Chain A
Amino acid sequence: MEQLKKNIKAIGLPRIIIVAFLFVLIILAVVQQQNMGTLASDVLVRFGMNMVLSLAMLPAVMAGTGMNYGLPVGLLCGILGGLVSIEIGFRGGVGLVMAMVIAIPLAIAAGYLYGKLINAVQGDEMMVGTYVGYAVVSLMCMGWLILPFKDPAMIWPIGGSGSGLRSTITLSDNYDGILNNLFAFEIGGVTVPTGLILFGLIACGLVYLFSRSKTGICLKAVGDNPRFAVASGISVKKSRMIGTILSTVLGAVGIIVYAQSFGFYQLYNAPLNMAFPPVAAVLLGGATGRVCKISHVILGTFLFQALLTIALPVANQLMPEGGLSEVIRIVVSNGIILYALTQSGGEGDA
């Protein structure tokens, strides 16, 4: 009994509940005779398109700033990069690469400013990050209205000044799904979006290599024990800054990957709460506000996205009226974060 309790504690109650829930959903899906091939393909796509966004949490946690609730800062840089790339006229694979090329310097600059702030508010990163994210999203809402974009595919057709950008910008005749389809193959009715997943894994690999470099070691030391880091001659502020910038850059790249799979860039209030699913995903994968490994990112994103993807058709068939799957999404993702907050005993750890 004691051993069982210990094991439950080690794995974490919410993880057990959610994995069990996932199994129930899969069984239900089989019973409902859902098309398992399509479902599996969807899971793989959602897993791939969210991986980089979840990965963005890792450098922030590593450097001791906790989960990056200010992720929208990075997302906006990514979206802006994507839009500028379209405006200039890049299309297809070049367009995708150029979107990132433009977004990354923007993200570095924004991440630097955000990092300055995060360094000034040590201990309250979560709350400040969340609201800075909100504020920046609403600031950019005004930005989308007045930025001088001209491409007719992107602005409202009425024309004239002040009409601004559309709320969704389609990529259908552009790089929609370009990574998904790269080397994609079908096996047993399951389409594997090879390029998309490969991209995510390469990003993970790069972060892994980074964590073994001198800078990476500094970051990790700061995150693990800032007082140890200080005594070892490591600049805590600099390391936290690097972690924040890296996280912001990954957020920017992540949203571009996300958009190419999704087929749209969503502007205005869409990025508002986009920091929470990645946070919930890595927490589900076993991370805490202090420890986050690549394995947590991959496992967590997979579990979380699998859950949401399978829940959608299953819930819809169970309750055709209204959004049961939406309810599941809200309860699961916020429940995980709440649980993590209580586990850290309010040390500002989630």
Chain B
Amino acid sequence: MPKSNGMNKIKGFMVSNIVPIVFIIVCMIGVAFSGSAPSIIMMDVISRFSRNAFLVISLIIPILTGLGLNFGIVLGAMAGQISLLIVCVAGMNGLSAVIAASALSVPLAVFLGWLTGKLLNNTKGSEMITSMILGFFASGVYQFLLLFVWGGIIPIDAPGIMLDSGIGVRSAVNLNNLKYAIDNIWKMDIFTAGIIFSLIFLIINAVKLLKRTDKTKVRTVVNIAVFAAIFVICFWASHADACKKMKALCQIPMVTFGLIALLCMFVPAFLKTKLGQDMRAVGQDMKVASVAGIDVDKTRIIATCISTVLASFGQIIFLQNLGNMSTYSAHENVGMFSAAALLIGGASVSKATVGQAIMGTILFHVLFNVSPMAGKNIFGSAELGEYFRVFIAYGIIAVTLALYAWKKTVQAREKNKVQ
């Protein structure tokens, strides 16, 4: 294979990462015009990131299994919400409530994921629209369940949660009893946290480097360089005066971040297992996978289950950070916003990585934070900025889907050309 020169490599990098690059520029413009202090933006983005990263990452596995963007994670979010309500009705508090809710949500999410997977196996080729409509449909069932069955058929005595009539859950439920239950276990300022996390990853990569001798070495070395740089920057910043304000304001919820980091390591490791390999095979070509003896339908169902369970955890993390829950709408935009974040990170309908999820979550939430102020300062209307970020979310999904579909038809045409 001929070695490409540096210029071409940079060009190739730009082309394959054009989406995040464009959004980095958009975000930079937004930050510049928002007039907010970087530390304030950073603080908000950290809390939004810790809230949303789990949900975004939960989309990766179905994408690689060929199911496209799984808008069915809405069902996972519902499972999380129902579990939270149950533990609240039971009168639990704090961390134990969150842990109990997570444990409770697993069987529920697995069941919903199994149903979703079954349905998606019946609608091969239009999984995305099916999962989206399924999300709407489930929303109706969920409303029915919480508005009429709860209290109406199953007697529930929880005045703060149920409506005054005793039938149906309030539309806004206060979760103060478990607010920040995970986040507040251990908090550190951003730089110390950066030092700790980069040190951990440095050690992991160093061990890898010692153990392996083949081609992945280059990647490991790059990783080490990146984490070393982060380490140095954080070390410097934590002592610099210029960063004092940021150090004071930006507190990292260590456990939440730790969980996200664990998930980030779990996904790639999972993909290198037998099951993960099967999923990738199914995702690329169902027919070949099936001829090779892989149970395609079962593999797809497992993928939706995993995604649904992760999403239910994600929603629990989200809500413990928020501290209150709009019972009937908190789940509604979970699928759409998570998908948009992932795509902004450079993922597509058939390919996604943890890195893209992280990148996308950060960019999307920077955009979310700065749009209203930037809109006000540029166009004199904060509303405009708010609509702009919604437009970006829908727009990026529309463009990605259209490009994906268009590529498919072009590829089909190319394939049939006579050599």
Contacts and interface: CB of A to CB of B under 8 A. Distances in A.
**A–B contact, 8 Å CB criterion (strictly below):** yes
Interface of A: 69, 117, 120-124, 126-128, 130-132, 134-135, 137-139, 141-142, 145-146, 161-162, 164, 276, 319, 321-324, 326-327, 329-331, 334-335, 337-338, 341-342, 344-348, 350
B130 interface: yes
B391 interface: yes
Given A128-B398, A134-B394, A331-B140, A123 B409 contact: yes
B168 A341 contact: no
Contact of B144 (A331, A347, A350): A331
How many chain B residues sit at the interface, stated as a range, is 35 or more
A341 B395 contact: no
Given A120-B402, A142-B387, 18 more contacts: A122-B405, A124-B405, A127-B129, A128-B398, A132-B398, A135-B391, A135-B394, A135-B398, A141-B390, A146-B381, A162-B381, A319-B148, A322-B163, A334-B136, A341-B133, A345-B123, A346-B123, A348-B125
Contacts of A141: 387, 390-391
Contact of B133 (A137, A327, A334): A334
B147 A324 contact: yes
A138 B385 CA distance: 11
Contacts of A345: 122-124
A142 B388 contact: yes
Given A124-B405, A139-B395, A338 B126 contact: no
B193 interface: no
A131 B398 contact: yes
A127 B405 CA distance: 10
Interface string B138-175: 01110110011000100000000001010110000000
Q: Which of A69, A128, A164, A331 has the most chain B CB atoms closer than 10 A to its own CB? A: A128
For the residues of A in contact with B, the DSSP-based class is helix
Contacts of A347: 125-126
B147 A322 contact: yes
B173 to A, nearest CB: 15
B397 interface: yes
A161 B28 CA distance: 26
Nearest to B125: A346
B255 interface: no
B266 interface: no
For the residues of B in contact with A, the DSSP-based class is helix
Nearest to A138: B391
Interface of B: 119, 122-130, 132-134, 136-137, 139-141, 143-144, 147-148, 152, 163, 165, 167-168, 379-381, 383-384, 387-388, 390-391, 393-395, 397-398, 401-402, 404-406, 408-409
11 contacts: A121-B402, A127-B405, A128-B401, A131-B397, A131-B401, A146-B381, A319-B167, A327-B148, A330-B136, A338-B130, A346-B127
B379 A146 contact: yes
B398 A134 contact: yes
B380 A161 contact: yes
Contacts of B123: 341-342, 344-346
Given A145-B384, A322-B147, A334-B137, A121 B406 contact: yes
Contacts of A321: 147, 163, 165, 167-168
A124 B406 CA distance: 9
A331 B401 contact: no
Given A121-B409, A134-B394, A142-B384, A338 B133 contact: yes
